[in-house]
Amino acid sequence: MPAVVRPPDSTIDQGPGDLAALAPLREISRYVVLEELGAGAMGVVYKAHDPDLGRMVAIKLVHAGSTPARSTRLLREAQAIARVAHPNIVAIYDVGLVEDQVFIAMEYVEGQRLRDWMSAGPRTLREILHVFEQCARGLAAAHDAGLVHRDFKPENVLFGNDGRVRVVDFGLVRWAEDEDGPPITEAGILALDQSITPAGAAVGTPRYMSPEQIRAKPVGAAADQFSYFVCLYEAVTGQRPFLGDNMAVLMRAVTGGEVRPFPPTCVAPRWLRAAIERGLAVDPGDRWPSMHSVVAELGRDREAERRAALDGSGSTEPMIAAFPPPDDLFVRRRVEEMRTQLERAWQLKSRGNLGGALKIVVELGPQVDAIGYRPLRAATLYLRGNLQYRTGDAASARTTLLEAAREAARAGDDWQVANVWTFLVLVVGLGLGRFEEAEGLVAAADVALERVGENASLRSRLLNNWGTCELARGRYGDAAGCFERAVELDTITHGANHGFVAMSLLHLAEAQIAARSLRDAAITLDRAVAVCQPDRTTPTPTRLRCLGLIGRLRLVEGRPAEAIGSLERAVLGWERMIGRERALGETLRDLANARGALDDPRADDTANRADRLLAIAPPRTA
């Protein structure tokens, strides 16, 4: 006979003596009772058969006492949950009264409680996140219906043999706007793991109660979120987040936000630790906005993001997040410290402070070398080479990036190898003008991409980089072919309105203008305009580039007067950005040509300024 989950007893406030006098039942409403599954101070659970629908059900019979108001409250709670149909909430089939007792007919589940699953043996992080993502979905559905569980804990989650997780025992649920009673105290609490509902007091299980529940403050969905993250902390660490062997100590720890540090043996990545710490914040407003946002955070495919990361976007974390942290605690802490420094450098780079970013990475190099954690060293070398190229030292960038590729290969990181080869194409081709060598690097990147298992975003970047090289050596048709394929890949991967699509479209338009395929260029720019909306007030590099190419197209079409407005707006935008000397110089050069065609006396000054900027600007990036 398969193991049968015995749904946790209801937490309605009844004493053990209230149920002792219950006579054995053979029928409850239309349900035929087969056997008792469990009995406790709060109620009795039976396995029963529904003759009308021919299915097994679990019947929870709760002694509601003689007060009609109490029976009405119980019925309302059961009916509230019955309204929520979700695969991660145990299904409620029927509710009713039998001789002043509330009964709830619910889904009969074969499996085990989450507590038993957590205790059965070590679980992988992937398994834990899969289970808790389902829990979060169930709670989110209840919250969407205006309901709060108020007693979420591992004992109130069923893990079915079908692999599906179900949140159960909403016996403490209230409508979200209901009032709470006075705060709980140590008196009368016999067990910190016991659900409590003293008349007129806060409800829940002390070890899982939020600070606002303990203080009997207004309780909403954020309280369930707090309880949820207490459980998740337990699952990933094997210990409780708050110390306290008695109620007084536990209350001080919870309301004081005294979350225990993650133990040295915990393999939870940094993003997960941060997510848990946020969910355990004392102030409900400091937690996640909703359980939907928790679902999104836990469900993010970080490996896919890591592989899809484009050069210059995001942070350094995607580059090394796929690797487990070092086993040695000291090394692990040093790696985290150094990664924080890399994050600083990456943010400086994104703001255009290339010199400051490079200084951090260069100073960090010897420390990274000494630690010997290859994923971190490969990421550090890649960022250093990237910055060397962007600050005008393509020769040093080539040397650094080749070492980054070797280190990534030693680490077994095929994605990083492909990433480095892809950027090297630009460094060697556009930066050093060694196009034949760059073509060989394209072949190397192709092989690396095959080892990765193909990656549309990385393939698009390779096409954009090589297309930029082809454009630089006057092979406009070949360049356009590369960019067209990049547009197709970006559209399939990210959708037609994504910023990556806009950038590939702008590359394509530039190649078409250079080839004098002006009709095609106009069509391409119209598509780019629809995506990046350059008329919006907030300037971005993509919007400014779009404005510049619109002006260039008008200039090449022989309409310099119509080019002036777009070019001047683009110049103003580039002037406000740090580290955009090349983009500003190229736009000024087009503006100088437009002004010259109109015999504008400012044309020569504009051209001289463009030449000065382009002489000192770092090489172009795709």
Cite the active site residues. Answer: 151
Report the 3 state secondary structure along 1-61: CCCECCCCCCCCCCCCHHHHCCCCCCEECCEEEEEEEEECCCCEEEEEEECCCCEEEEEEE
On whether the CB atoms of residues 424 and 401 are closer than 8 A, the answer is yes
Largest CA distance in the chain: 105
Q: Which contiguous run of DSSP H or E holds residue 282?
A: none
Q: Measuring CA to CA, how many Å separate 168 from each of 121, 213, 265, 421?
A: 23, 20, 31, 52
CB 43 within 8 A of CB 12: yes
d(CA 301, CA 319): 14
Phi first, then psi: give them for residue 489, nearest 5 degrees: -65, -45
Could you identify the residue written with the tokens 């003008």? 433
**What span, in angstroms and rounded, lies between the C-alpha atoms of 420 and 140?**
41
Phi, psi of 92 (to 5 degrees): -100, 120
Task: Give the Cβ contact number of residue 524 at 10 Å.
Answer: 27
What is the C-alpha to C-alpha distance for residues 574 and 585, in angstroms, rounded to an integer?
A: 9
The Cα–Cα gap between 61 and 58 comes to: 10
Compute the half-sphere exposure of residue 431: CA atoms within 13 Å on the CB side of its CA: 27
At residue 285, φ and ψ (nearest 5 deg) are -70, -15
User: Cβ(594)–Cβ(563) under 8 Å?
Assistant: yes
Contacts of 271 (CB under 8 A, 6+ apart): 297, 302, 317, 321
CA distance 205 to 151: 6
Amino acid identity of residue 58, one-letter, is A
Length of the chain: 622
Query: What whole-number distance in Å separates Cα of residue 547 and Cα of residue 90?
Result: 56
* Strand-by-strand arrangement of the 157-160 sheet: 111-113, 157-160, 165-167
438: exposed, middle or buried (C-beta count within 10 Å: 0-12, 13-18, 19+)?
A: buried
Question: CA-to-CA distance for 305 and 297, rounded, in angstroms?
Answer: 13
Q: Tell me the angle at which helices 374-390 and 394-410 cross, rounded to the nearest 10 degrees.
A: 160
- Alpha helices by DSSP H, listed for 238-326, are 247-255, 270-279, 291-299, 302-308, 317-320
Q: Among 235, 282, 277, 221, which Cα is nearest to 254's?
A: 282
- Sign of the Cα torsion 287, 292, 298, 302 reads negative
Here the tokens at position 622 are 């795709």
Question: Helix and strand tally (H, E) in the chain?
Answer: 25, 11
Nearest Cα to Cα of residue 506 among 490, 595, 537: 490
